[in-house]
Amino acid sequence: MQRKLSTRFRAVIFMLSLAMVAVLYFPIWKIELAAPQYPEGLTLKIAANGLRGDVDIVNGLNHYIGMQTLHTEDFLEFKILPFIIGGLAVLGFVVGAMNNRKLYYAWVALFLLVAVVAMVDFYRWEYNYGHHLNPEAPIRVPGMAYQPPLLGYKQLLNFGAYSIPDVGGWIFIGVGAALVLLSFKFKKGFFVIGGLMLGLQSCSTGPAPIRYGQDACDFCKMGFSDKRFGAEIVTKKGKVFKYDDVHCLLAALKAGGQEIGGIYLLDFADGQWIKAEDSRLLHSTAFHSPMGSDIAAFADSVHLKAFNGESLTWKELYR
């Protein structure tokens, strides 16, 4: 006797299938590029059926370092990916209509296989794109490769590259996560999906560790050396900008251009991150901060009282 799916569970399957259709209409992935000469940044968007965003500008820059130019028609993936995503959506509707749990498991397994193959193919494309360079390019750096990050941030010469899912990608990830979770929690499907969607909406990236000897300030371009000072801006998209001094942080905030999700300062006493609005600040010439602001941040007033200087709040300083 075949195990049937509940009416609610089938309704969830239909909703997830509709969400898969939506993936066809939104970019799936994006690579954001930031450099001093492009303060507003450049964005390369990857949709199911082609490339979008600042493709022509990126191609023009790639010419100088010998990277391949990007053209939608050169990629077989853009010809077949719409059919793969559409096929997964149609199969979801079939699963709901057939009311067969074994067929549901097969659908989940196929979905996960497609996701893994897609990421492997994306990595392969990035590797070839960043390593197979024209030896006669105007700019050649021996031993340098320009492979963008698969996920997260990477410095490529004077460009910072940030690779993350776009709207379509987040939908795809959400559907996949819901399918897996529902495989284990049939009776609580609606609660699982609700919690998942709320989690995707509310998730945010916090401050990132500073790699001393490797990272450079995003404003003054000086390397980080003093572990007592540091600040970061985390955008609403999760991108992190690092600063070696409050002076550079304030200058960057004045220049604008970031959708700020959070501002963090290093605790002078223990080197831990604290939210700027929760910090206690002290200005003292005895601190000798890297860029001369001579402002240190503290998580509490106990450690602050060990030094002499002018006490400030973040609100007073930022104003």
Distance CA 21, CA 16 (A): 9
Q: Are residues 62 and 153 in the same domain?
A: yes
Q: Are 192 and 181 in contact (CB under 8 A)?
A: yes
The whole-model pTM stands at 0.61
Q: Are residues 40 and 167 in the same domain?
A: yes
Q: Are residues 265 and 158 in the same domain?
A: no
pLDDT at 205: 62
Q: Which residues of 113-137 are buried (b: 16+ CB within 10 A; e: fewer)?
A: ebeeebeeebeebbeebbeebeeee
Residue ranges making up the domain that contains 186: 7-202
- The count of other CB atoms within 10 Å of the CB of residue 2 is 10
pLDDT at 162: 84
The last residue of a domain, from among 202, 223, 241 = 202
Q: Are residues 22 and 68 in the same domain?
A: yes
Q: Are residues 86 and 195 in the same domain?
A: yes
Burial class (CB in 10 A: 0-12, 13-18, 19+), 293: buried
The last residue of a domain, from among 159, 186, 202 = 202
Distance CA 186, CA 179 (A): 10
Helices and strands, number each (H, E), in the chain: 9, 12
In a domain, 211, yes or no: no
pLDDT at 192: 47
pLDDT at 116: 94
In a domain, 222, yes or no: no
Q: Are residues 243 and 95 in the same domain?
A: no
In a domain, 80, yes or no: yes
In a domain, 218, yes or no: no
Q: Are residues 197 and 235 in the same domain?
A: no
Q: Are residues 112 and 196 in the same domain?
A: yes
pLDDT at 240: 87
In a domain, 207, yes or no: no
pLDDT at 1: 42
Q: Are residues 188 and 113 in the same domain?
A: yes
In a domain, 62, yes or no: yes
DSSP single-letter state for residue 80 = H
pLDDT at 270: 85
In a domain, 214, yes or no: no
Q: Are residues 29 and 174 in the same domain?
A: yes
- Look at the chain and report how many structural domains it folds into: 2
pLDDT at 113: 94
The last residue of a domain, from among 165, 187, 202 = 202
Q: Which residues of the chain have pLDDT under 50?
A: 1, 187-194, 196-204
Q: Are residues 54 and 178 in the same domain?
A: yes
Using alpha carbons, list the distances in angstroms from residue 45 to 90, 172, 308: 25, 16, 51
pLDDT at 201: 46
In a domain, 1, yes or no: no
pLDDT at 185: 61
pLDDT at 39: 67
Q: Are residues 236 and 175 in the same domain?
A: no
